[in-house]
């Protein structure tokens, strides 16, 4: 899902660094996608370069969020550029996220379509809480926090899941998961192995 450029930016939004180099996106089934990643402990130049490359890769793939293991790196960091429930744009970098979800009467599930850049081309409904709060650190080590509504609530949960080795297929019932893989299989030819370094093919 691409973000329109013209939408207003929310006050909680934090600027992303300039995009670096586009990297190939790691697919489901690769081991780094399926285990908990390491905490970020050094907020150094290597981390800054990784985050810049993740921003470039997210935009090249027209995504609203990207986790480090999606570019093959074993570190707890994700980037996002995603509209919230008021259609305001929110961007940010989160290292070592701590996610809080509403409980009890505050907990409402939203069953909207979800997709993943590491299973390109496939989407299916996935029930998740309609709000999410995340705290962590940016790539300089400064504390950050974001409150997600609408698509941003889904995005913060999806990206935090990645850093703990969970893909959204893990959250689906068997039948929905099979349908998702079938849909991906039908479109897989459009996505070169090094996508989005090589762009996706056009539909027949």
Residues between 106 and 145 that touch Zn ion (CB under 5 A): 116
Closest to Zn ion by CB, 140 vs 166, is: 166
Site string for Zn ion, 65-104 (x = CB under 5 A): ----------------------------------------
Q: Least Å distance between CB 154 and Zn ion?
A: 11
Q: How far is the CB of 62 from Zn ion (least distance, A)?
A: 13
Supply 74's token pair: 């074993």
Under 8 Å between Cβ of 108 and 129: yes
Annotated catalytic residue 186? no
User: What residues contact residue 24 under an 8 Å CB cut-off, 6+ apart?
Assistant: 71, 72, 193, 194, 195, 196, 197
Q: What are phi and psi of 178, to 5 degrees?
A: -60, -45
What gap in Å lies between CA 87 and CA 149, rounded to an integer? Answer: 10
Closer by beta carbon to Zn ion, 51 or else 116: 116
Residue 155 · residue 64 · CB < 8 Å? yes
Closest-approach residue to Zn ion (CB): 116
Q: Would you tell me which residues interact with Zn ion (CB under 5 A)?
A: 116
List active site positions: 159
């Amino acid at each position: 899902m691409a973000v329109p450029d013209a939408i207003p930016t929310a006050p909680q939004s934090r600027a992303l660094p300039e995009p670096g180099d586009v990297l190939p996106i790691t697919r489901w089934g690769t081991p780094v996608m399926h285990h908990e990643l390491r905490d970020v402990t050094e907020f150094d130049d290597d981390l800054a370069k990784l985050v810049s490359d993740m921003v470039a890769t997210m935009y090249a793939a027209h995504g609203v969020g990207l986790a480090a293991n999606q570019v093959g790196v074993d570190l707890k960091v994700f980037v996002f550029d995603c509209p919230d429930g008021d259609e305001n744009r929110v961007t940010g970098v989160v290292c070592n996220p701590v996610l809080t979800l509403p409980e009890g009467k505050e907990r409402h599930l939203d069953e909207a379509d979800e997709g993943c850049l590491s299973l390109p081309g496939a989407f299916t409904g996935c029930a998740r809480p309609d709000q999410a709060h995340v705290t962590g650190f940016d790539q300089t080590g400064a504390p950050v926090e974001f409150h997600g509504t609408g698509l941003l609530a889904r995005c913060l949960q999806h990206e935090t899941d990645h850093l703990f080795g969970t893909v959204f297929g893990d959250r689906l019932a068997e039948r929905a998961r099979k349908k998702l893989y079938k849909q991906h299989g039908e479109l897989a030819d459009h996505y070169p192995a090094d996508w989005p370094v090589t762009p996706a093919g056009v539909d027949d």
